[in-house]
Structure 1
Amino acid sequence: MRVSLNWLKELVDVDLTAEELGKILTIAGFEVEAIEDLRTFADGVVIGKVVQKEPHPNADKLSVCQVEVGGDAPLNIVCGASNVRADIFVPVATLGTYLPAIDLKMRRTKLRGVPSEGMICSLTELGLEKESDGIHIFTEDNLQPGQDVRPLLGLDDVILDLATTANRADALSMVGIAREVAALTGATLKLPDIPQDEVAQNLQIQIEVQDSQACPAYIGTVIEGVKLTSSPNWLKWRLQAAGVRPINNVVDVTNYVLLEWGQPLHAFDCEKLQRVAGNDALTIGVRFAEAGESLTTLDGQNRELNPQNLLITANNQPVALAGVMGGEDTEVDNQTVNLVLESALFESVTIRRSARSQNLRSEASTRYERGVNQVELDLAVARAIALLQELAGGTAVAQTVADARPDFASRGSIELRLSRINQVLGQVKRENGVGEIEVEEVEQILSALGCQLELIPDKESTWKVTVPSYRYRDLEREIDLIEEVARLYGYDRFCDTLPAKTEPGYLSFNYQIKNKLRALLRGVGLTEVVHYSLVKPTGGEVTLANPLFAEYSALRTNLIAGLIDAFEYNQSQGNGSLNAFEIGRIFWNSDAGFQEADAVAGIMGGDFYPQGSWTRGGKPAPMSWYQAKGILESLFTNLGLTIFYRSDSTDQRLHPGRTASLWLEGKNFGIFGQLHPQLRQQRDLPNEIYVFQLDFNILLAVLSQEEVITPKFQVYSAYPGTERDLAFFASTTLSVAEIAQVINRAGGKLLEKVELFDEYKGKNVPEGQRSLAFSLIYRSSDRTLTDEDVEPVHQKVRDTLVKEFEVTLRS
């Protein structure tokens, strides 16, 4: 919000510099992003009177002018403007003047051999226009040479560019800022005196609102006999200071009221409305758009409408995007004589959706999205009518109102306790020490904000607070009022106190485990990546009701899909294989509703050790299934987890013969496998790509917090181990993991390690079986094992295998 200091001082009796006011507003929560001093644009520029003009002796397009600027003798100035002539008053940049708009400092110079002692300026050179046809000529009376030009051009002002928070809709108006400044400084508020002339209520136009929630109020006023012309300078200057381009007196009035009161207005050409409607009898309607409708807006774009767009219609023909932008077909132009002035209230959410669906934002939509003061709608209309009558000669002849606004008085009041204020805010600094905020201070602050306070008799220091209409959207609870007390009292006046008991910060167990996983996965050579949780829907996902884009309208159900996409992109960019992991959240639908959980996933493939390719003649060595499994196993070993693998073919993206589900303490912990060949071909990926995904919640449940946070030393045996081999024929349907699990159980405490070192299928092996050979290491922590200690245990292992799996022992 760009705030003109001159305009502000007309609304509130404050005598502060821009810097002082900016500091007060910043402390109160309105960040001053910039202070723009317009006075610097013409510092040193004065009014000059051209007393003589002669052709330049050496240039056809230049003139030599004698310009009187209040000194002893006129200045000799060479000018190239075609509209310069004698007996006119012009702005003159004298010697030593710096013009920041064109980055030029005035010095004595010669132009084609003729000395020049300054410059006659155009509005472009003073920063008021982008392009000018010639020098500026003053038309005011009683001008004196040497007079400062800045008051005559609106350059005696300072602009404060304020950043307002989303909850302060009232701060998007000059009246709202003036109220805030009055409350902060104690200055007197001087709002414009608005004549409350009654406008005849008749049915010259009818109003038809289909959805009173989307449009609680609509006022249509017919104004006849307007004369379109350029606005007076004061109005132009105020619009320009606010960053709004002046157009004509009618449009400028609607923009002025928007800036002054925060109430958007729109003026339709009445005859054009009747032409679009196809009838002199007008019915202004408010409805949502239907499929196939379109509208050309004031920016010249033809827009395809959708059911989210709220429309203004004339006899059901679209003429404007409600609360966003008017239509080109009913635009006010130089031939306009009669107006229909629209002033309305629209629901914030409706306008936000409508504007976003068309990718169109305007000054009006910005204010409707935050919320417009419902009570002061009629005041803004009266202000606009009075200005149109004064500046355009119009007369309000008819007005029709459709009003479904709730009674503001029915909102009730908010109970505010002094004890709660002091409990939340704490002690404050006073001249004689520290203390607490007192009753009188609370009443003074909230009354300055426009609140009405009434002490509740049977409750100690407790008020019933009625909030003013322009703050009803952000002052809804007791804590909101406490925040206002703190803000206006001054945050710098509160004591700096530390909590009575402090504790060192710490990471939650959940986060500690995630950090440990990150460190371990990075340690085995994987790079962490992060993807959006939002994905393109393919079916079955949790979809968003109001997505930003169709490509990001669903929530991901797994992490593997994103890792495959990243691997493919990395490969296509010539960066080689991506060995990466991700820790993130996944989402899914269930009978109980939407569910979400954290997961850990990774992708591996390609040549894992490319720096050693010289030993292989420069040929890459694709990662094997066992290498990928080894990387995953190293993670489990560091976490102290025992994982069991079972053949799995449920995921269609993975190779059915090279995929295993992972089991931890009887729970399905995740999946690990190689990408399916068909998927590899579709994505143009290398032959051996492996992925895994783990359930983070199961991991949390299994890991002990104490063991993870404080690892304990486990005593290792100082005695040598005894190794035994075990070979047998086993059915090919048996997995090595099942066999190893039984061996470990049968070996008991003495069995330290079980490792498969050979597998054979083929000649001399029975059909449907394979030959497996395991190495078993036995060890004790308190003695060296003898054959008498080992043989019984080893025989028990052999007997258990025969009994459980009917294997044929070979050793």
Structure 2
Amino acid sequence: MKFSENWLRTLVNPEVTSEQLAHALTMSGLEVEALESLVPDFNDVVIGEVLSLEKHPDADRLQVCKVNVGADAPLQIVCGAKNVHVGARVPCAQVGAALPGIVIKQAKVRGVESSGMLCSEKEIGLAEESDGLLLLPSDAPVGQNIREYLDLNDKLFTLKLTPNRGDCLSVTGVAREVSAITASSLILPEVTPAVIDKSAGVLDVKVLEPEACPRYCGRIVRGVNLAAPTPEWMIRRLERSGLRSINAIVNVTNYVLLELGQPLHAFDLNKLNGGITVRFATQDEQLTLLNEQAVKLAENMLVIADDATVLALAGIMGGLDSAVSDTTTDIFLESAFFNPAVIAGKSRSFAISSDSSFRFERGVDFASTRIGLERATCLIQEICGGAAGEITEVISELPKRDPIQLRVARARRVLGIDMQEDQVEALLRLQQLTFVSDKGVYFVTPPSYRFDLNIEADLIEELVRLYGYDNVKAVSPRANLGMLPKPESFRQDSELRQVLVNRDFQEVINYSFVDEVWEKDFAGNTKPIKLQNPIASHMSTMRSTLLGGLIDGLRFNLNRKQERVRLFELGRCFVGDQPSSEQQPLRIAGLCYGPVRSEQWGEPARSVDYYDMKADVEALCWPEIPRFTAAQHPALHPGQSATVWIANKCIGWIGVLHPQWQQKYDLPQSATLFELDLASLQKRVIPVFSEYSKLQQVRRDIAVVVDESLSVQIILDALHENKPAIVTALELFDVYRGKGIDSDKKSLAFRVLMQDTQKTLTDKETDEAITHLTQILNNRFNAKLRT
């Protein structure tokens, strides 16, 4: 909403500066987006009258003018404008005048003295370009300051209104707000009924959709003179509000729109066939709008029609065929209230925007429908003449303005302000709200122009707006502070993240929406959860695994010449069709690619393998010791993949990327990956104290030959389950295949550590323990000691 400050101050004139007024409006919720002067600062420019012209003796295009500026003697000024003539009254900058970008000095132009400059609109900042001098009316008073004559000591306000404040899309609406927030007197525009001439007749009006158009007013005005000039004061107010002058009728309707917020439309009466009908469009109806855009109407679009065709798109824009033109003598003037829900969004379907639709979408004052018509009629008669007929009005059920309950105690609690009842009443009166009270409870009836007041919270907001946000004291929050419990048996996800960061991983965050192909490749999921309205074709399903996003991140890095990539992600997966936590588990997944370490001189380069990733997984699981069982996964190499177990629960997968996907996704070499259940990793075993032995450990090694197909994990599980009490550690430290070992066999070497907390172990005790372990290997796995 853009308007002239001078226009606003004709309705309400608080004793504050422009800047203070802008601040007050902004702090009341009407944000002033821009406050700018109408023209740049300049001085010593008065109205001059050209008394005579003489051709410059040394320049064909220059004239020597004698100009009366109200001084004792006329000024001699050299001018090159084409439209200068004797009798012209124009702005004249005197010697010493400071114009935008120039200071006027006594000068000689081609040898002729020049004591000033005749000005165009460009020189005084009214336009960026100008073809000649600014010609003023012949009755412009000579010698008067041009700033006063053209009302240039004005500023332009631009409000950035929220959608709920449609009542402030008029100068009157803004004036109401200014009156309320500054406690200044308000002078509303005086609207008197137009003089009726019954000979002008009436037009039959039918409203077939009363819910869409609860109120419709119209009247005939005959014998208007469209050639009549629009008053300068009206043109100035329109132009300073961003509207250009067209003709007197259109200017009046635009003026009333800006003044009262009531959109109006004028039809050429002689172009109408029969009466006016307000209805919804029928299928395949078309209309050429005022902007010459031909549109095809939908059946949910409200239109104004006569007996033959559609005349206008209701509340949005009139039609070109029935528009007022230079030959128009009789008009039908329309003023209506349309249901905002019917108008909302319709203009955007045609990629157009109009001042009328902008207001009707937000809601206009249905009590001002007739007032706006009367105001426009009086202005038309004043400017263009004409005989006005009686108003034809069709009213159905208008919006109800039911009283809203406002509890003072509730307002105090919400605002934190000790507001008394007399203060509440004073603030409500400032906003011109009618109310009745009953023991601290007010029943407030909102006016017809305040569509934003519907519930108690809206009224509480009105109180604090008028009270002043600046006057609300800041209160420091008061709360009890205490340490939150941090169970030792639970690990935060931040701890798990830190473990991986310390091992040179970098965290990534991917969308939960993934390509359907990823689900099939990396999860074997042929029936993923599909989105009904995906944001892109390659983000059409919900992920059931994090691996696809990590592979995509790897490709992104490889395309940017990154040779070593270590990524991890912690996120939610979606494995079912029900919104339960069990089917939306949190998981943590990692990927390693390229050299184990960055290029260096200290050790030869080596690509990361399954066992490097296994060490990372063991670090995540610590202090639990995970077990790894060979298994197949859709995304992993059949011979280099395993499930990860803690206690007796499978918590995830680890392995090398399947060669098929390595080739499909253009990876120069394979990558290793893991994906684990986050909840299982967050459960931590509480450490239990055990006595520390001061006695020396005994180490013995056992090397056995077993079948190649035998899993080492199974052997370790059996040994741990049946180990003697003195055995404190039992680990595999070597695997050998080759010379001296059959091709279907492998050699396994186990390190056995034995210790007692009370005494030194004897050879007999250690021998018995080793014999016991050897018997387990022999009896259960047919293992042979390697000699």
TM-score bracket relative to the smaller structure: 0.7 to 0.9
- CA displacement, residues 34-81 of structure 1 (integer Å, 9 cap, x when unaligned): 321225355443222222333334433333333333334434433332
Displacement of 1:137 in angstroms is 0.4
Q: Whole-Å Cα distance in 2 between the matches of residues 113 and 641 of structure 1? A: 103
Provide the TM-score with structure 2 as the length reference: 0.78
Assess, with a 3 A threshold, how the Cα gap between structure 1 residues 544 and 207 changes in structure 2: closer, same or farther: farther
Equivalent position SS for 1:170 = helix
**Superposed displacement of residue 174, structure 1:** 2.5
Aligned to 2:459: 481
Match of 2:52, SS state, is strand
CA distance in 2: counterparts of 1:695 and 1:320, whole angstroms: 64
Q: CA deviation digits over 1:667-720, x for unaligned, max 9?
A: 6655555555555545434332455555555555x369xx8xxx9999987776
* Contact 1:289–1:310 under 8 Å retained in 2: no
Q: 1:381 to 1:74 in 2, by over 3 A?
A: same
Counterpart-to-counterpart distance in 2, 1:802 and 1:288: 93
Matching residue of 1:11: 11
Aligned pair in 2 of structure 1 residues 764, 186: CA closer, same or farther (>3 Å)?
A: same
**Which of 590, 596, 600 is equivalent to 1:612?**
600
Letter in 2 for 1:147: Q
Partners of 1:295 and 1:740 in 2: CA distance: 85
CA shift for structure 1 position 135 = 1.7
Task: Return the alpha-carbon distance in structure 2 between the equivalents of residues 437 and 534 of structure 1.
Answer: 51
Aligned residues of 2:592 and 2:672 also touching (Cα < 8 A): yes
Residue segments in structure 1 that go unaligned for 5+ positions in a row? 428-435
1:754 to partner: Cα distance: 3.7
Higher Cα Rg: structure 1 or 2?
Answer: 2
Partner of 1:177: 174
Q: Pick one of 410, 417, 421 that aligns with 1:439.
A: 421
Alpha-carbon distance, 1:810 to partner: 4.8
Q: Distance in 2 between matches of 1:712 and 1:4?
A: 80
Which residue of the partner structure matches residue 157 of structure 2? 160
Q: Residue 624 of structure 1 is aligned with which of 609, 629, 633?
A: 609
Note the 1:567-578 alignment, pairs <5 A.
Answer: 567-574=554-561
**CA distance 1:45–1:500, shift in 2 (3 Å):** same
Gaps of 5+ in 2: 518-526
Q: Contact 2:363 / 2:451 at 8 angstroms: preserved in 1?
A: no
1:635-668 Cα deviation digits (max 9, x unpaired): 444xx565555566665x6555555555566666
2:124 maps to what in 1?
126
Aligned match of 1:467: 446
- 1:242 is matched by which residue type in structure 2? S
CA distance in 2, matches of 1:223, 1:550: 58
For residue 452 of structure 1, what is the aligned residue in structure 2? Answer: 434
* Cα contact 1:541–1:554 (8 A) shared by 2: yes
* Of 418, 434, 452, the match for 2:408: 418
**Count of residues in correspondence between the two structures:** 765
- The within-5 A match list for 1:579-728 is 579-583=566-570, 590-592=577-579, 600-607=588-595, 609-612=597-600, 622-637=607-622, 640=623, 642-645=625-628, 658=640, 662=644, 669=651, 671-672=653-654, 674-690=656-672, 692-693=674-675, 695-696=677-678, 702=683, 722=699, 724-725=701-702, 727=704
Decide whether aligned partners of structure 1 residues 465 and 314 sit closer, same or farther in structure 2, where only a CA change above 3 A counts: closer
**Secondary structure class of the residue paired with 2:64:** strand
1:758 and 2:743 matched: no
| Shift in Å, 1:378 | 5.0
CA distance in 2 between counterparts of 1:334 and 1:736 reads 100
Structure 1 segment 56-455 matched on structure 2, within 5 A? 56-100=56-100, 103-139=101-137, 141=139, 143-195=140-192, 204=204, 206-209=206-209, 212=211, 215=212, 217=214, 219=216, 221=218, 228=226, 231-264=230-263, 283-286=277-280, 310=301, 312=303, 334=326, 338=331, 341=334, 343-347=336-340, 351-352=344-345, 363-364=355-356, 366-367=358-359, 370-373=362-365, 376-377=368-369, 379-380=371-372, 382-384=374-376, 386-388=378-380, 390-391=382-383, 407-409=399-401, 411-414=402-405, 416-426=406-416, 436-455=418-437
d(CA) in 2 for partners of 1:288, 1:784? 103
**77 and 375 in structure 1: CA distance in 2 versus 1, 3 angstrom threshold:** same
Cα offset, 1:761, TM superposition: 9.3
**More displaced 10-residue stretch of structure 1: 443-452 or 296-305:** 296-305
- Deviation string 1:752-797 (CA, Å, 9 cap, x unpaired) is 4645643759996586x86655555566778776666666666666
Q: Is the 8 A contact 1:726 1:776 kept in 2?
A: no
2:492 aligned counterpart, secondary structure: helix
TM-score normalised by length of structure 1: 0.76
CA 1:465–1:283 in structure 2 vs 1: closer, same or farther (change >3 Å)?
closer
For 1:323 and 1:553, locate their aligned partners in 2 and report how far apart those are by CA, in whole Å.
40
Show CA shifts across 1:77-124 (max 9, x none).
333321111211112334444444xx4444445544545444322223
**Partner SS, residue 53 of structure 2:** strand
Q: Which deviates further from its counterpart, 68-77 or 750-759?
A: 750-759
Residues in 2 aligned to 1:359 and 1:783: alpha-carbon distance in whole angstroms: 92
Q: Is the 8 A contact 1:567 1:577 kept in 2?
A: no
AA aligned to 1:127 is G
Tell me if the contact between 2:215 and 2:366 (Cα under 8 Å) persists in the aligned partners.
no
Q: 1:96 to 1:499 in 2, by over 3 A?
A: same
The 1:310/1:86 distance shift into structure 2, 3 A limit, reads same
When residues 587 and 718 of structure 1 are mapped into structure 2, their CA distance, relative to the original with a 3 A threshold, is: same
Between the aligned partners of 1:8 and 1:365, the Cα distance in structure 2 is 24
Q: Offset of 1:476 from its aligned partner?
A: 3.5
Which letter maps to 1:240? E
Which digits, 9 at most, give the CA deviation of each residue in 1:4-47, with x for residues without a partner?
22122222242322122123223333343432122535544322
> Which residue is 1:513 aligned to?
492
Does the 8 A contact of 1:239 with 1:256 survive in 2? yes
Higher helix share: 1
Cα distance change, pair 789–303 in 1 and its aligned pair in 2 (3 A): farther
AA aligned to 1:30 is: L
Residue of structure 1 in register with 2:523 after alignment: none
In 1, Cα distance between equivalents of 2:54 and 2:45: 23
Q: Distance in 1 between matches of 2:358 and 2:485?
A: 41
Distance 1:97 1:461, change over 3 A: same
User: Within 1, Cα distance between the matches of 2:362 and 2:690?
Assistant: 63
Residues 327 and 145 of structure 1: CA distance in aligned 2, closer, same or farther (over 3 Å):
same
Q: Tell me if structure 1 keeps the 8 A contact 2:529–2:542.
A: yes
Q: Is the 8 A contact 2:207 2:213 kept in 1?
A: no
Tell me which amino acid in the other structure corresponds to 2:232.
N
Write the distance in 2 (CA, Å) between the matches of 1:217 and 1:236: 33
Distance (Å, rounded) in 1 between the aligned partners of 2:444 and 2:57:
79
